[in-house]
């Protein structure tokens, strides 16, 4: 199944119940190829990893409402600098939507045992967050969403800006907080976030959504 990014945005929801099966070889290859491309343009060290056993504690599994785990996950790894979380959100969401476009399901996971993540972490790098990926027993369900005015400071914004914000509101955020705020000044789009758990990751995800819907870069 192939679809464009905007269709993937509308159809993709977080999934917490997975079939006990490996990724098909053709889909694994596509995901690995996309990871390679993203790593080359982003400077991140994203990795597809087999085996989710032990990565989540009983508490985090219960808290997250998990029914069954997939066999694979993506480790979002990169240089430990001030922009890592935003970049992981931005490029991780690109991967999430790509996965949706080829018939896979995903869920962002922030509560996990870092010591159990079997990723290669080079000196100066750290594991930021993970994305579980596989074949869902269901397709998830839409999250509650704020209004455009709740997350925008623009006055009488153009249609493209509104489209961007509407798409950002479809982005997954930790505990559906949607703490990001978009603004428009002299034709330039800016985004910031209020302090919250994984707020910078969420801001990166929302930024990516805004850009694919509006055609405008976000600063």
Report, as an integer, the average pLDDT of 39-56. 95
Give the strand order in the sheet containing 105-109. Answer: 47-50, 72-79, 125-134, 105-109
Rounded distance, CA 105 to CA 94, Å? 13
In the predicted structure, residue 59 carries a pLDDT above the cut 70: no
Q: Which pLDDT does position 100 carry in this prediction? A: 97
CB contact at 8 A, 119 and 127:
yes
Architecture of the domain delimited by 5-134: 3-Layer(aba) Sandwich (3.40)
Q: Which pLDDT does position 24 carry in this prediction? A: 97
Q: Which pLDDT does position 18 carry in this prediction? A: 96
Q: Which pLDDT does position 64 carry in this prediction? A: 82
Q: Considering just the CA atoms, what is the radius of gyration of the chain in Å?
A: 17
Strands (E), 168-213: 180-185, 188-193
In the predicted structure, residue 34 carries a pLDDT above the cut 70: yes
Kindly state the helix (H) or strand (E) to which residue 78 belongs, with its residue range: strand 72-79
In CATH, what number does 148-214 get?
Answer: 3.40.109.30
Domains 5-134 and 148-214 share a fold: yes
Domain map of the chain by residue range? Answer: 5-134, 148-214
In the predicted structure, residue 2 carries a pLDDT above the cut 80: no
Q: Which of 80, 78, 102 is nearest to 90 (CA)?
A: 78
Report, as an integer, the average pLDDT of 35-47. 98
Q: Which pLDDT does position 57 carry in this prediction? A: 83
Q: Which pLDDT does position 3 carry in this prediction? A: 54
Q: Mean pLDDT in the chain?
A: 94
For the chain, give the percent of residues with pLDDT over 90: 88
Give the tokens for residue 46: 């994203």
pTM above 0.85, yes or no: yes
């Amino acid at each position: 199944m192939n679809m464009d990014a905007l269709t993937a945005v509308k159809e993709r929801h977080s999934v917490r119940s997975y079939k006990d099966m490996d990724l098909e070889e053709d889909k694994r290859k596509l995901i690995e190829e996309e990871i390679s491309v993203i790593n080359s343009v982003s400077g991140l060290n994203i990795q597809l990893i087999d085996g989710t056993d032990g990565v989540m504690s009983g508490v985090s599994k219960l808290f997250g409402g998990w029914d069954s785990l997939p066999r694979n996950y993506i480790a979002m790894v990169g240089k430990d600098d001030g922009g890592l979380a935003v970049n992981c959100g931005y490029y991780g969401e690109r991967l999430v939507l790509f996965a949706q476009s080829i018939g896979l399901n995903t869920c962002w996971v922030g509560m996990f045992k870092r010591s159990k993540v079997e990723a290669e972490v080079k000196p100066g790098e750290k594991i930021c967050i993970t994305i579980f990926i596989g074949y869902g027993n269901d397709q998830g369900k839409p999250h509650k969403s704020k209004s455009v005015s709740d997350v925008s400071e623009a006055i009488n914004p153009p249609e493209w800006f509104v489209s961007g914000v509407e798409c950002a509101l479809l982005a997954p955020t930790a505990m559906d907080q949607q703490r990001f705020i978009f603004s428009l000044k002299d034709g330039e789009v800016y985004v910031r976030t209020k302090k919250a758990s994984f707020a910078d990751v969420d801001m990166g995800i929302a930024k990516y959504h805004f850009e694919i819907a509006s055609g405008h870069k976000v600063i």
